[in-house]
Every structure is written in C-alpha cells, then in structure tokens.
Structure 1
Amino acid sequence: MQFNPNFISTTPDIDRLLASNAVVAVGISGGRDSQACLLAVNQHLNAIGHTGPRVAVHADLGRAEWPQSLPKCQEMADFLGWELIVVRGGNGDMMDRWITRWRNNVRRYAELECVQLILPWSTASMRFCTSERKTKPVASALKKRFPGQNVINVIGVRREESASRAKQPVSKPDPNVVSRGMEGATWNAIIDMKRTEVTSYIEGSGLTLHPGYTEHGMTRISCAFCIMASAADLAASATYEGNHAIYREMVDLEVRSTFSLQSGKWLGDVRPDLLAPEMVFALEEAKRKAELRQAAEARIPENMLYVKGWPVAVPTWAEASLLAEIRSSVAEIVGLQINFRDPGSIIDRYEELMELAASKSKSRDAVDDHDDDAPGRLIPAKQLDSSCSAWPF
C-alpha cells in the first residue's frame, strides 16, 4: 500500500501530542472516509514512531444502521491490529430514540408544554442523532478508558464533502475526551484528502469498501435511511433486503406522527412496493393529515410561537380561544388525547408555567449567589433533553 504523506493534515498542537505518545482514537463508521482515515493515521503514526495507545471507536446506532457496518469496522481494526471499542447510547438504539421522542412530544403537547406539535425525527439543524448517539458516548468512553492520559480524537471528515466541513479546522482542543488536567484534541486528519484518493487508497491497501457502495450504489454510509441522505441514496439503500425491516418501521413512525422523515419528502414514497396495502393507504392518510395539521398551526399568531424563555406572556381570552380551537383540531387530526382545550384552562396553564419558570429562575439565582462552584458545575446528562428541553424550537 503506497502512502502519500500529503494525505495527512496536522497542526503544531497535534504534532506535539503525538510526540508525547498521546492516545489516538479514530472514529470509524464503516464508510470509506473513516476507513481511509484509519489507514492513513496508522501509517502516519508508524512513520513518526508513535508508541502510545491506538484504538478504533465505533458508535453503534443499532437497527438504524446497515447490518454490515459493525462487521466492516471490526474487519478494519483487525486488519491493522487495533482494538475496536464499540459504544452505544443509553435507552435503546437510534430508532428507539425517535420513537421515544415522539411519545415524549405527544405528552408535551397534551400538557401544553409547547404550542405546536413537534416532529420525532432529528434534522439538519438539530442532529441529536450525532450529538447523543455518537459524540457524547465516544467522549465518555475515551475519558473512562484513558484516565490521566492525553487523548486525540480523530474524525474522518473532508473539506470536499460539504460547505460546512470545508470551514472546519484541522484540529481544535477537546476537553470532553479527557479527565481533568489532561489535554484533549479533535483531529480532522484527512480533511484535505480527495474522494478519488480515498477510494484508490483503500483499494490499494487490500481492504474492500462497504458493500453499500459496491453492491447498492450508495454515495455515503451512515444510517440506512439518514435524515440528511440524498434521494438517490435513500433509493439505493432500499434495494438491500437487510434494510427493509427498518424501512417499514420508519415509515410506520411517519404514519403515526404525520411527520415525514425529511422536510416535504416522505420515506414511504421511496419504495411503496415494500409496504403492505394497508400501510400504503395509511401513508396517504398521513400526508393528508399533515397538510391539515400544518394549516391549523399556521393560524397561531406569531406572538404566541416559541421564543427563548417561553411562555413570556399570558394570552388574552381571544388568543386563548383561538389556541383552544387549534389544539382541538390538531388533536382530532392526529388522534391525540390532550388537556387544556378551552380558553380558561389555557390561561390558567400559562400562568402556572410562568410561575414555575420564575420559581426555577429564583432557585438558580440563589445557587449562583451562594455556591462558589456554580458557574462551572455540570448538569447530569439524564436531566437534559438536547432535542428541545421542555419547549418547542
């Protein structure tokens, strides 16, 4: 395998950490970019005489992933003689997270903790699928596994992939992957590598690409049906029989929630032939219900929509009457059981929520005034919901 040193991009900070034999952890998904990254970093470490720990890390998303992804990651690690660490988020896999999120959002709507019904899916601007299921579990695993050591967390992103990734730095400090007092960094080691170089480099190593590429025509490998996938990749993924079960499960959530996987694009339309006739009918009904739900919620006055600190004012009787009508319509359309369906109870609920928010604010102020550690204390992850806190977004 021929190695081009220009494949690797470094910074003085990364070079210094490598020279000190810091832990090197390379995140791998089974896709070609992470595959090329692992190969290139391994050769670079060998070339500079790095003797510190080396591990590959895979964040397993469960049944939402291609079935071949984890085995491909193990194959890559075995090929180089690296240990593979597999991390998983708590409370089920990625599909479970979407299902639980929908259940929680229905409860929030029923209890008037939000004025609009909230979708179950992650989105481009709200990628909790990455933050909750990849970034946080990986950081936690590295911190626990390598206490008292400096750690470099390597990611195989490339500038060529997107405009946002083109702006990313080669490296940046990352205190989340190390214990207190140690130095951590995120390193985009192959950020300047080109796609043509990626493929030829992997093939030259003697490894094969993920079958999603070679047998089904995928351009990117992530979840089997990613919320950011192109139409072509969604269609390509659906050609693999091993992805049909998760396809049907995701379409079922589209139907139950009346929210399409992607904005204006229903996963169920990709391969309706894979669905039972009753599911095809239910999908068409879900589309109709989605239009009715959106039309109803479009009537909510702008001053009643979510802003930071919501709710910031108690609605007038007229506003509460309108919201009661809209909530009743949405509940009937989607098939939900909700509370606070009349103007009086809605006004009471807003007053209750505002009093609760004021009480919490006073409690925080008291802690900040009397606790020297307050500005830097950490909130346990179980107390947070990075998807939307208690309010809509």
Structure 2
Amino acid sequence: MQNPLFETQWPPDEVQDLIRAGALIVSNHSGGKDSQAMLIELLKISPAAQMLVVHASLGEMEWPGALEHAEQQARNAGLPFVVARANKTLLGMVEARFDSRPDVPSWPSAQHRQCTSDLKRGPIEREVRRYAKEHGFQTIINCVGLRAEESPRRAKAITWRKNETNTTQSRAWFDWLPIHHFNRDQVFEAIREAGQELHPAYGLGNDRLSCVFCILANSNDLRNGAVRNPELYQRYVELEQKTGYTMHQSRRSLPEITGIHIDGCSQEGQRTHEKKPE
C-alpha cells in the first residue's frame, strides 16, 4: 500500500535523522484501530530496539480486552510493552468534582478533557520518562494515532512539534502524529495487509475504541457499550443522575442517546455541561 501520510516524503527527514541518531520511538496504543495501524507503519521505519509501546490503562472504564489486544501486537513484534496507570478513575474524578463544586459541570468536556490529561497523557509521559532514563535514550519521539478525518479540531492538529514541557537539558522530546493523513479505509487496509485482527468490539459494530462511554462517542458506540457492559452503564447513568449533569458532549443523557433506561433513574431536571443559572 502506498503510504498517504505526506505528499512528498514519509517519514519526514527530521524523523529519519532522529531515528538514525538513536531516538526512542514511543507508540501510544489504546487497543483501537488507529493505534494498531500506526504501530504497523512505525515498524517499517524504526528498529525494534528503539521502540516502546505504551498503553494507558483505564481499568474497567475501557473496553474489555483493549490492554491485551495492544500488548499482543507489541509482543508479536518483539517490542517492549509498558502499562501506564493513573492513581484515580474517571468516575472518581467526576464524583470528587461534584462533591467540591456542585455548581459547575462535573464531567470532562471536549474543551476541558481532564480524562485525557489526567488518566492518559500524564501517566504515559511519566512511564516514558522512566523507560528512557533506564535505557539511556536522550531523544524521544512520542507518537499518537490521531487522524485529521476524525473531526475538524483534529484536522487542525500540529503533526510534528518539539514538546518544550517534556524537553530538558538532557532530553529532547518530540510529538508526532504519523497517520494524521490516513482515512478510515486506509487504516483498515494497513491492518488487513499486516494479517492482523481488530479488537472484537469492531466486530460488534463499534466505530471507535477506548473508553466504553466516551464524551465524544457516537450514539451507536454508546448503545453498543450499554448493551455489552450493563453494570458499568448503570454506574454512569446513576452518576449522571446524582450530579445532575450529562456526560456526553451532545448534552443529552445516556438514556436519551442509547434508548436504554435504568429502573429508578429519572432524567427529569438533568443539567448539561453548561453551568446552571445563578
């Protein structure tokens, strides 16, 4: 398959130069299709000895088997695999915020995604720094399988940049979106050509994979998650009811989106991500 990532050259010269100089290539892997396709592409340009696969475990909040799927792909390629875990959970964060500030939205939003920063990015960066120090890497290329096709906001994302926050006198850190230009068909094609299987949730009809109930998920994925994970779904619905705020960016409650209602949970008086009137 012809690589569609860059009109002129892929990987960019700077990436090639850093790999030749011994940079560590970090492949963030959620267990989803984009992470899987990205790792396939990265294996084409980097020696295995310079690669690390890292998974931010969301515990019961992520689709069952996501961690194992990511780990299996890494192991099959002979790559080290590290699990990054936060010291808190999404529902715990929501409850704590509601207890301390019931007057403001309790759930993360598309504009303020504490779920990503606190549960994924922060723990991953911690584990990558530790691994790089232990193995003597002074340059890091941190790769994420974010694609332009997914949303207008992601289409505007910077595909290559130096991360000044994580760069120190002894360490250079770069962030790269290697498959930013891939469309959905190209993602699936890369996986098929590699002879790999997708996470089973895709076979159940999911479009995306990570959290079972994501603030950005479409209605099909949320409904699928509710059907396949009823106990977790009930906890989300009950917490929406307790806080009075909806978790989804559409500002509709989960039962409104999925059509699946929980006995004893009324949706009357449900607030949204917006701050309630004074």
TM-score, normalised with respect to structure 2: 0.89
The SS at the match of 1:44 is coil
Question: Which of 115, 122, 126 does residue 136 from structure 1 map onto?
Answer: 122
How far is 1:51 from its partner? Answer: 6.2
Question: Which of 92, 102, 105 does residue 101 from structure 2 map onto?
Answer: 105
Corresponding residue for 1:40?
41
Question: Which of 135, 153, 162 does residue 151 from structure 2 map onto?
Answer: 162
1:80 aligns with 2:77: yes
Instruction: Give the direction of change, closer, same or farther, for the CA distance of 1:42–1:176 in structure 2 (3 Å limit).
Output: farther
How far is 1:176 from its partner? Answer: 4.1
CA distances 1:251-283 after superposition (whole Å, capped 9, x unpaired): 1111111111125300133456562x323xxx2
Give the structure with the higher percent helix: 1
Which residues of structure 1 form unaligned runs of 5+?
107-116, 301-393
1:288 aligns with 2:274: no
**Aligned length in residues:** 270
How far is 1:288 from its partner? Answer: 2.5
How far is 1:95 from its partner? Answer: 2.2
How far is 1:119 from its partner? Answer: 1.8
1:66 aligns with 2:54: no
Distance in 2 separating the partners of 1:261 and 1:207: 34
Corresponding residue for 1:17?
18
Output aligned runs, 1:130-279, within 5 Å: 130-147=116-133, 149-177=138-166, 179-214=168-203, 216-240=204-228, 243-262=229-248, 263-271=250-258, 273=260, 275=262, 277-279=263-265
Distance in 1 separating the partners of 2:271 and 2:185: 42
Q: Letter of the 2:31 partner, please give it.
A: G
Q: Letter of the 1:95 partner, please give it.
A: L
How far is 1:99 from its partner? Answer: 2.0
Corresponding residue for 1:389?
none
Instruction: Give the direction of change, closer, same or farther, for the CA distance of 1:74–1:237 in structure 2 (3 Å limit).
Output: same
Which residues of structure 2 form unaligned runs of 5+?
none
| % identity of equivalent residues | 27
Q: Letter of the 1:169 partner, please give it.
A: I
> 2:48–2:79: 8 Å Cα contact kept in structure 1?
no
Output aligned runs, 1:52-63, within 5 Å: 52-63=49-60
Corresponding residue for 1:126?
112
Q: Letter of the 2:269 partner, please give it.
A: R
Output aligned runs, 1:319-338, within 5 Å: none
Computed over aligned residues only, the root mean square deviation of the Cα atoms, in angstroms, reads 2.3
Larger RCO: Structure 1 or Structure 2 (Cα < 8 Å, ≥ 6 residues apart)? Answer: 2
> 1:7–1:40: 8 Å Cα contact kept in structure 2?
no
TM-score, normalised with respect to structure 1: 0.64
How far is 1:7 from its partner? Answer: 4.7
- Between stretches 4-13 and 74-83, larger displacement belongs to 4-13
CA distances 1:280-319 after superposition (whole Å, capped 9, x unpaired): xxx23xx23649xx99x53x4xxxxxxxxxxxxxxxxxxx
